[in-house]
Amino acid sequence: MLWVALLISLILLYLFRKQVSVIVGIVALMAAVVVVYIYNEDKIHERERASITVSVKYDDIACSPDTPLHVVVKNTSQRIAQDVKWNIEVFRFGYSSNVVKGAAGGDPWSTPYRIDTPLKVIEQTIICYSVPVLTGKYEPSQLLYRIANKKVELL
């Protein structure tokens, strides 16, 4: 049955070459416009999500010794951040292996962190967290902390 439709299409294409060419050109142009629009919208949203920054450092003075990880979540986008979640990776200086327990198993969400309140435009919040469970006995103040797998949902 498909071959019948294909045969009819080829006959119409042969008989009405000019008209079909114009229609195909218009459809191709409309498809290109839609693709460019979607691409640009996606880039704009990606830029806005990148405007939400999360930073972490070990600071047992600004935070308590029980929760020494000083995390700053900052919204510099033009939209409200509804949900921001991330992981914290921990490294020994000079090494590239993440020493968070469970991170070596390949689970990127072994240490999921998040803010539970919307973050308004040009607003920041500071949170103190405890050091995640590590694979060995390391001095927490001598480790390098880094944000990974940041996910942002904007309103």
Q: What angle do CA 137, 142, 143 make, to 5 degrees?
A: 80
- Longest Cα separation, the chain: 82
Residue 47 has pLDDT above 90, yes or no: no
> What is the structure's pLDDT at 111?
60
For 53-101, write each residue's pLDDT tens digit.
999 999 989 999 999 999 999 999 999 998 899 988 999 999 888 888 7
- The SS3 of residue 127 is strand
Angle between helices 17-50 and 2-15 (to 10 degrees): 110
Model confidence, pTM: 0.71
The structure tokens listed for 131 are 């050091």
Please tell me the distance from the alpha carbon of residue 45 to that of residue 56, in angstroms, as a whole number. Answer: 24
